[in-house]
């Protein structure tokens, strides 16, 4: 299935072109054929051809184009690339369904629901296994659909703390590390578009606490854009226009990097692949990892319920004669496949086919493991083309060969491939930020999730609020309706829980007894200390922020917070606020801040601060003194008890 893969080659068959080496039809047939295919690039190809054959030095624009082709061919076998492209483009133009002859059926996998004992059981296994995981973040894509010209991983996951995606991912991996005692590697796949800015983001933030030797980079290069069915390249200022080859590059680049073998040799067992703007990715990893480990899967895809027409691939069990394959059928292929096999297109919500979140757990070791599979295949997953056509079947815009990370299972010769579907009543276990407000409005009109920056933020709070509900007697207030850049978003109380506070439901059950966060309220638990909450109330619109450092053990008992809190206000000028349509302004807060390791307790004091009453503010010193007094009281009582 799929097309031949355009392999890598060490030197170009075009080497020396226009630099004095005479080309002859006998020895340079392939090179001349390749140039013949792209003769439209040259103003006067006949003259270029003559110069090539008699070894004349070619200057100027033609030389620049030849050099660009030589550089490309050295990196990427252009003959194979164009051959593959021609075959796939011909099929696409003739509407040949690449899945012709395959019959889809609904695959069997595990279904896990948040707040269930099964979910918690899998989380516990996941937490045990995560200490033997390597992490691969594919972050080469630019946010075209999002209307954001920065790197997506620098976007805030939420505006209450402003923590960006990359920081959240790294802080969570560091918590996995703290729990397991192992130093865990993170590899980022970048592209020319995202390389420099991502490395600067890390440098400017001291890698968000991660050691530099833990982080590695693989950089994907673009592939030639194709303007028509003849696979004609496109000139872009005398250079060859290139476009991203797709997140499937991650496997061939990891194969070339040798990293998976190093990870295996140092005792790691699995690799977790995830994408740039799904804030839930590393939180959902633990139940999914537990499920993959419990079933000894070589490959496990993390899925959620899918909606008809959603820009999300669907996992299908495909059969053709004796062949059967569990495959992600991408959202642009699902409709034609279902239409041609069931007569009904991609029309059901929820879809019977699990939705691919593109979060993959792949085992490193064994015959069907990642290391041996990369050694055998070079990690070259099948390519496809997805040209957009005008009415007269010409291309709306240049296409290119692409490949997808989730097609890795097609490289396997056996092995156990499966998936786990994660569900949560309160909010979908998946909230990528992909769409600009305008395209999000269209998505919502057609019954789909917005997947915008504002809806992603609301989902973030909803998930953290629902996570907090694992505790005893937890009440989370209602959502506040709002319209941001024309998009209606219901904003839950803004709850932000750091990975150090809780990773799994057991953590919440252990540390949360009686918490209420009312409508419009804010609860932020940040930092690396351990925090226990008992009988804590955040009144309507009020804000409580608890900040701790490593080594702090804090108990907050019987605290009611009432203040002006944080407010959702009109966006400022930053792009992150503009694509969201709002910003969060910290008007007032009760901030419990502990910067020295130690055990602390904050106990019953009513901290209401109504402006008009001009009630005296309780300075942190009094607060501190009170805390110490309570501590002394408890210590004394324990000695006497």
471 binds ligand UGB (CB under 6 A): no
Out of 65, 134, 139, 607, which residue is the one contacting ligand UGB (CB under 6 A)?
139
Q: Alpha carbon of 603 to those of 514, 631, 633: distances in Å?
A: 14, 9, 11
Other beta carbons within 10 angstroms of residue 30's beta carbon come to 12
Report, in Å, the least distance between residue 328 CB and ligand UGB: 6
Report, in Å, the least distance between residue 208 CB and ligand UGB: 18
What is the distance between the terminal CA atoms of the chain, rounded to a whole angstrom? 74
Report, in Å, the least distance between residue 412 CB and ligand UGB: 19
CA angle 399, 404, 408 (to 5 degrees): 145
String of DSSP letters for 82-127: HHHHHHHHHHHHTT--TTTT-EEEPPP-EEEETTSHHHHHHHHHHH
Residue 456 or 529: the one with the smaller Cβ distance to ligand UGB is: 456
Residue 139 or 584: the one with the smaller Cβ distance to ligand UGB is: 139
Binding letters toward ligand UGB, positions 482-521, x by CB under 6 A: ----------------------------------------
Residue 141 or 527: the one with the smaller Cβ distance to ligand UGB is: 141
- Across the strands, what pairs with 359? 302
Alpha-carbon span 112 to 119, nearest angstrom: 6
- Contact present, 500 and 530 (Cβ < 8 Å): yes
Binding letters toward ligand UGB, positions 180-219, x by CB under 6 A: ---------x-x----------------------------
Alpha-carbon span 438 to 145, nearest angstrom: 10
Residue 312 or 584: the one with the smaller Cβ distance to ligand UGB is: 312
Report, in Å, the least distance between residue 353 CB and ligand UGB: 12
Report, in Å, the least distance between residue 314 CB and ligand UGB: 8
Residue 189 or 235: the one with the smaller Cβ distance to ligand UGB is: 189
Size of the site for ligand UGB (CB under 6 A): 23
Alpha-carbon span 462 to 276, nearest angstrom: 20
Residue 52 or 242: the one with the smaller Cβ distance to ligand UGB is: 242
Which long-range contacts (C-beta less than 8 Å, at least 24 apart) are formed by 204-212? Answer: 205/167, 207/170, 208/166, 208/167, 208/170, 208/171, 209/170, 209/171, 209/174, 210/170, 210/173, 210/174, 210/186, 211/183
Please give the structure tokens belonging to residue 230. 């003849």
Residue 298 or 330: the one with the smaller Cβ distance to ligand UGB is: 330
Binding letters toward ligand UGB, positions 422-461, x by CB under 6 A: ----------x-x---------------------------
Please give the structure tokens belonging to residue 79. 């003959």
Strands 552-562 and 494-497: unpaired
Report, in Å, the least distance between residue 190 CB and ligand UGB: 7
Binding region for ligand UGB (CB under 6 A) out of 86-94, 132-140, 172-180, 279-287:
132-140
Report, in Å, the least distance between residue 253 CB and ligand UGB: 10
Out of 330, 346, 383, 505, which residue is the one contacting ligand UGB (CB under 6 A)?
330
Residue 144 or 265: the one with the smaller Cβ distance to ligand UGB is: 144
User: What's the number of CA atoms in the CB half-sphere (13 Å) around residue 493?
Assistant: 31
Other beta carbons within 10 angstroms of residue 411's beta carbon come to 21
Report, in Å, the least distance between residue 452 CB and ligand UGB: 13
Other beta carbons within 10 angstroms of residue 220's beta carbon come to 24
**Nearest residue to 207 (alpha-carbon basis) of 182, 156, 173, 158:** 173
Q: Is 502 helix (H, G, I), strand (E, B) or coil?
A: coil
266-285 positions binding ligand UGB, by CB under 6 A = 275-276
Binding region for ligand UGB (CB under 6 A) out of 99-107, 171-179, 355-363, 595-603:
355-363
Residue 175 or 249: the one with the smaller Cβ distance to ligand UGB is: 249
Out of 358, 373, 511, 548, which residue is the one contacting ligand UGB (CB under 6 A)?
358
Residue 275 or 516: the one with the smaller Cβ distance to ligand UGB is: 275
Binding region for ligand UGB (CB under 6 A) out of 30-38, 351-359, 552-560, 625-633:
351-359
Report, in Å, the least distance between residue 488 CB and ligand UGB: 22
Binding region for ligand UGB (CB under 6 A) out of 138-146, 492-500, 549-557, 568-576:
138-146
Out of 140, 290, 369, 387, which residue is the one contacting ligand UGB (CB under 6 A)?
140
Alpha-carbon span 194 to 198, nearest angstrom: 6
222-261 positions binding ligand UGB, by CB under 6 A = 244-247
- Contact present, 371 and 364 (Cβ < 8 Å): yes
- Contact present, 524 and 496 (Cβ < 8 Å): yes
Please give the structure tokens belonging to residue 141. 């894509």
For 55-91, the three-class secondary structure string (H helix, E strand, C coil) is CCCCCHHHHHHHHHHHHHHHHCCHHHHHHHHHHHHHH
Alpha-carbon span 312 to 329, nearest angstrom: 9
Alpha-carbon span 537 to 474, nearest angstrom: 10
Out of 5, 333, 357, 452, which residue is the one contacting ligand UGB (CB under 6 A)?
357
Residue 244 or 369: the one with the smaller Cβ distance to ligand UGB is: 244
Residue 187 or 559: the one with the smaller Cβ distance to ligand UGB is: 187
581 binds ligand UGB (CB under 6 A): no
Residue 109 or 140: the one with the smaller Cβ distance to ligand UGB is: 140
Binding region for ligand UGB (CB under 6 A) out of 46-54, 87-95, 135-143, 484-492:
135-143
Report, in Å, the least distance between residue 220 CB and ligand UGB: 6
Out of 240, 312, 417, 538, which residue is the one contacting ligand UGB (CB under 6 A)?
312
Residue 190 or 561: the one with the smaller Cβ distance to ligand UGB is: 190
**Nearest residue to 582 (alpha-carbon basis) of 595, 598, 571:** 571
55-94 positions binding ligand UGB, by CB under 6 A = none
**Nearest residue to 215 (alpha-carbon basis) of 253, 164, 163, 170:** 170
Residue 140 or 336: the one with the smaller Cβ distance to ligand UGB is: 140
Binding letters toward ligand UGB, positions 391-410, x by CB under 6 A: -------------x------
Please give the structure tokens belonging to residue 415. 């092995």
Q: Is 316 helix (H, G, I), strand (E, B) or coil?
A: strand
141 binds ligand UGB (CB under 6 A): yes
Q: Is 464 helix (H, G, I), strand (E, B) or coil?
A: helix
Residue 59 or 349: the one with the smaller Cβ distance to ligand UGB is: 349
Task: Collect all residues with Cβ–Cβ distance below 8 Å to 204 and sequence separation of at least 6.
Answer: none
Alpha-carbon span 191 to 72, nearest angstrom: 16
- Contact present, 414 and 32 (Cβ < 8 Å): no
Q: Which residues bind ligand UGB (CB under 6 A)?
A: 138-141, 189, 191, 220, 244-247, 275-276, 312-313, 328, 330, 356-358, 404, 432, 434
């Amino acid at each position: 299935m799929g097309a031949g893969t355009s392999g890598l080659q060490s030197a170009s068959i075009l080497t020396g072109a226009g630099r004095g080496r005479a080309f002859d039809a006998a020895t340079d047939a392939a090179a001349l054929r390749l140039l013949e295919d792209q003769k439209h690039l040259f103003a006067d190809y006949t003259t270029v051809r003559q110069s090539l054959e008699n070894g004349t030095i070619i200057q100027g624009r033609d030389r620049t184009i030849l050099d660009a082709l030589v550089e490309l061919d050295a990196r990427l076998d252009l003959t194979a690339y164009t051959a593959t492209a021609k075959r796939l483009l011909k099929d696409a133009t003739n509407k040949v369904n690449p899945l012709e002859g395959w019959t889809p059926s609904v695959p069997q996998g595990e279904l896990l629901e948040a707040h269930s004992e099964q979910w918690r059981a899998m989380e516990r296994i996941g937490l045990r296994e995560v200490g033997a995981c390597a992490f691969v973040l594919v972050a080469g894509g630019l946010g075209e659909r999002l209307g954001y010209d920065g790197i997506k991983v620098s976007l805030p996951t939420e505006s209450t703390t402003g923590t960006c995606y990359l920081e959240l991912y790294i802080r969570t991996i560091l918590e996995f590390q703290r729990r397991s005692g192992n130093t865990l590697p993170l590899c980022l796949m970048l592209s020319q578009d995202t390389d420099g800015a991502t490395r600067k983001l890390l440098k400017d933030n001291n890698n968000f606490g991660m050691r530099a030797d833990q982080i590695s980079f693989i950089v994907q290069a673009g592939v030639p854009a194709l303007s028509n069915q003849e696979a004609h390249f496109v000139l872009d200022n005398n250079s060859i226009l290139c476009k991203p080859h797709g997140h499937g590059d991650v496997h061939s680049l990891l194969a070339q990097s040798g990293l998976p073998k190093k990870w295996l040799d140092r005792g790691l067992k699995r690799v977790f692949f995830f994408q740039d703007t799904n804030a839930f990715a590393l939180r959902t990893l633990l139940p999914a990892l537990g499920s993959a480990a419990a079933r000894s899967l070589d490959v496990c895809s993390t899925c959620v319920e899918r909606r008809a027409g959603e820009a999300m691939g669907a996992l299908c069990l495909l059969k053709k004669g004796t062949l059967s394959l569990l495959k992600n059928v991408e959202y642009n292929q699902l409709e034609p496949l279902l239409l041609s096999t069931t007569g009904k297109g991609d029309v059901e919500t929820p879809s019977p086919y699990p939705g691919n979140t593109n979060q993959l757990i792949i085992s490193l070791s064994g015959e069907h493991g990642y290391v041996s599979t990369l050694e055998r295949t070079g990690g070259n997953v099948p390519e496809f083309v997805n040209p957009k056509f005008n009415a007269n079947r010409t291309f709306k815009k240049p296409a290119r060969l692409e490949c997808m990370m989730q097609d890795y299972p097609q490289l396997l010769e056996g092995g156990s491939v499966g998936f786990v579907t994660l569900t949560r009543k309160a909010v979908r276990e998946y909230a990528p930020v992909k769409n600009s407000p305008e395209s999000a409005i269209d998505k919502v009109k057609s019954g789909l999730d917005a997947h915008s920056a504002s809806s992603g933020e609301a989902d973030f709070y909803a998930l953290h609020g629902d996570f907090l509900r694992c505790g005893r007697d937890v009440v989370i207030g209602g959502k506040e309706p709002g319209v941001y850049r024309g998009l209606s978003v219901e904003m839950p109380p803004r709850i932000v829980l750091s990975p150090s506070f809780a990773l799994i439901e057991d953590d919440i059950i252990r540390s949360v007894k009686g918490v209420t966060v009312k409508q419009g309220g804010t609860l932020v638990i940040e930092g690396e200390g351990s925090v226990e909450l008992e009988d804590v109330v955040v009144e309507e619109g009020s804000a409580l922020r608890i900040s701790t450092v490593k080594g702090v053990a804090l108990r907050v008992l019987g605290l009611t917070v009432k203040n002006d809190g944080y407010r959702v206000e009109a966006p400022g000028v930053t792009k992150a606020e503009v694509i969201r349509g709002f910003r969060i302004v910290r008007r007032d807060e009760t901030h419990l801040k502990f910067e020295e390791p130690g055990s602390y307790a904050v106990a019953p004091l009513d901290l209401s601060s109504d402006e008009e009453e001009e009630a005296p503010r309780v300075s942190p010193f009094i607060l501190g003194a009170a805390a110490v007094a309570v501590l002394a009281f408890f210590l004394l009582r324990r000695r006497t008890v």
